[in-house]
């Protein structure tokens, strides 16, 4: 009975990737890591620049808001001090409607005015004048720097106005031109027992000098900006500036003008704010007119008013991200180089193993060929041509064995010669033909 043999089957083994596939996978992973690292670095750089621009824009808006806040604060403080000035000097007259006060003398108003203005810087340039106008007879009494024409003009202006406004009992102010000089005239009416205004008391000064004196004091004494984030604090004591404190003049430049642009007063460092982007203008309207307060932050103020911890944290975060990205890039490149060197080493090892396998198999075949050729050469009855051919077989077999022995040191070969299709090959017969190699120097 015939036996039907089953087809040969290789024993199944656990599935695994070949070494070359492993190498390709590792190379792909390293290449992807490099690409991802470069992509992350690009994104981080773009976002860092966007964040820096956004922070600069926010800082610029914030600093402009600070400048506007300072202008409104200073303007409001100046107006408040002018109102306080009128109320203080004209206190014996103000509110007389409800008190039925005795009529004060003009000298009493002069004494109160002198006491107040002596505390202001530059009050000597104000050309102060005091006056009393009898609203019934238009009689005028004056003290100080006040020309007769100007005094008469004030009397002729106030008398009809106050008689038609018997309810106007609080101090107010007029702006009057006196031979090209603009003067401010503060006044209040004295209300008699019958509830009618009987006299007007007041004082006058050069408007620009008065605003300058009040603004200079307000600028020195009033903190105009929010507390600095840089760790400093504002100087609330006007007598001295201690260590760690800042004053308005160290951060701000201020100009106060009228609507036409005439400068009434400006701070000492106002010129240093030319060209700064942190400028705001505030127009303050008053009864007789208005003043314009222009405030600007000095360029050096940005470091004091913007939270420095934000700048530092942003800088440190960016540096950390860049350092991490650079380290990832270096690690990826080193891994890529190591993988390429490893692949080259594995390829060389595989070629060496292949060469040893070829040498073993071909040596066995050559040994059989040489043995049979030598046996045939020893037989009798061979013609000379047959002996020559057998000797050629033995000779060439020996040459092949010497070439195969050289395969053990294939990595030392440096005899490379042209081959087909513009290729190159290692000349394994160099030793047999006496050609120079790394083992046999010329």
pLDDT score at 293: 92
pLDDT tens per residue across span 31-42: 777 777 778 777
pLDDT score at 131: 93
Of 3-12, 94-103, 301-310, 371-380, which gets the smallest average pLDDT?
3-12
pLDDT band, very low/low/confident/very high, at 426 (cuts 50, 70, 90) = low
Residues 208-228, mean pLDDT to the nearest whole number: 84
pLDDT score at 123: 76
The H or E element containing residue 60 is: helix 19-89
- Does pLDDT of 343 surpass 50? yes
The H or E element containing residue 209 is: helix 207-221
Could you state, in order of their start, the residue ranges of all structural domains in the chain?
22-227+246-306, 346-433
Assigned token pair, 292: 């314009």
Residues 1-5, mean pLDDT to the nearest whole number: 45
CA distance 429 to 415: 10
Answer with the residue of higher pLDDT: 345 or 283: 283
Residues 94-105, mean pLDDT to the nearest whole number: 70
- What rounded mean pLDDT belongs to the chain? 77
pLDDT score at 186: 92
pLDDT band, very low/low/confident/very high, at 185 (cuts 50, 70, 90) = very high
Of 252, 225, 245, which is closest to residue 66 (Cα–Cα)? 225
The H or E element containing residue 291 is: strand 290-297
CA 219 to chain centre: 31
Please report which residue ranges of 265-383 form alpha helices under DSSP H: 302-305, 308-378
Cβ-contact 131, 110 below 8 angstroms: no
Answer with the residue of higher pLDDT: 281 or 335: 281
pLDDT tens per residue across span 76-92: 999 899 999 999 999 88
Cβ-contact 277, 297 below 8 angstroms: no
Give how far Cα 284 sits from Cα of 75, 257, 303, Å. Answer: 7, 11, 30
Place of tokens 């942003």: 314
Q: How many CA atoms lie within 13 A of 266 on its CB side?
A: 17
CA distance 378 to 357: 32
- Does pLDDT of 301 surpass 60? yes
Answer with the residue of higher pLDDT: 136 or 303: 136
Residues 403-426, mean pLDDT to the nearest whole number: 67
Task: Supply the pTM of this predicted model.
Answer: 0.60
Phi, psi of 197 (to 5 degrees): -65, 130
pLDDT score at 167: 65
What are all long-range contacts of 120-126, with beta carbons under 8 Å and residues at least 24 apart? Answer: 120/213, 120/214, 120/217, 121/213, 121/216, 121/217, 122/209, 122/212, 122/213, 122/216, 123/209, 123/213, 125/206, 125/209, 125/212, 125/213, 126/205, 126/206, 126/209, 126/210, 126/213
pLDDT band, very low/low/confident/very high, at 2 (cuts 50, 70, 90) = very low
Assigned token pair, 83: 């109102």
Assigned token pair, 430: 């160099």
pLDDT score at 1: 42
pLDDT band, very low/low/confident/very high, at 441 (cuts 50, 70, 90) = very low
């Amino acid at each position: 009975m015939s036996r039907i043999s089953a087809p040969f089957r290789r024993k199944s083994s656990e599935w695994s990737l070949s070494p070359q596939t492993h190498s390709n996978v590792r190379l792909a992973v390293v290449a992807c890591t490099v690409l991802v690292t470069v992509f992350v670095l690009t994104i981080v750089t773009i976002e860092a620049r966007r964040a820096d621009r956004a922070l600069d824009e926010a800082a610029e808006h914030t600093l402009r808001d600070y400048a506007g806040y300072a202008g409104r604060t200073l303007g409001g403080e100046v107006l408040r001090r002018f109102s306080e000035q009128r109320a203080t000097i004209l206190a014996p007259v103000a509110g007389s409607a409800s008190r039925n006060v005795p009529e004060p003398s003009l000298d009493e108003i002069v004494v109160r005015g002198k006491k107040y203005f002596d505390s202001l810087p530059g009050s000597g340039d104000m050309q102060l004048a005091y006056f009393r106008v009898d609203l019934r007879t238009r009689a005028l009494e004056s003290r100080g720097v006040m020309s007769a024409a100007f005094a008469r003009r004030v009397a002729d202006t106030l008398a009809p106005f106050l008689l038609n406004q018997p309810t106007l009992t609080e101090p107010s102010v007029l702006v009057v031109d006196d031979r090209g000089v603009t003067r401010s005239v503060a006044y209040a009416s004295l209300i008699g027992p019958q509830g009618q205004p009987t006299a007007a008391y007041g004082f006058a000064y050069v408007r620009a000098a008065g605003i300058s004196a009040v603004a200079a004091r307000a600028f020195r004494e009033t903190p105009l900006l929010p507390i600095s984030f840089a760790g400093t604090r504002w100087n609330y004591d006007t007598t001295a500036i201690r260590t760690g404190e800042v004053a308005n003049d160290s951060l701000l430049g201020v100009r106060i003008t009228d609507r036409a642009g005439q400068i009434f007063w400006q701070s000492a460092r106002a010129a240093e704010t030319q060209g700064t982007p942190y400028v705001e203008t505030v127009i303050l309207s008053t009864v007789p007119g208005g003043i314009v307060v222009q405030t600007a932050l000095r360029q050096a103020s940005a470091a004091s008013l913007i939270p420095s911890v934000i700048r530092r944290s942003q800088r440190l975060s960016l540096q950390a991200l860049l350092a991490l990205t650079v380290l990832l890039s270096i690690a990826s490149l080193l891994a890529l180089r190591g993988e390429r060197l490893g692949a080259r080493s594995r390829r060389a090892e595989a070629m060496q193993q292949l060469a040893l396998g070829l040498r073993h198999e071909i040596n066995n075949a050559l040994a059989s060929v040489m043995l049979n050729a030598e046996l045939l050469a020893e037989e009798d009855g061979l013609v000379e041509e047959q002996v020559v051919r057998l000797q050629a077989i033995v000779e060439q077999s020996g040459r092949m064995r010497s070439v195969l022995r050289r395969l053990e040191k294939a990595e030392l070969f440096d005899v490379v010669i042209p081959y087909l299709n513009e290729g190159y090959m290692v000349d394994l017969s160099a030793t047999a033909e006496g050609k120079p190699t790394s083992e046999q120097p010329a």
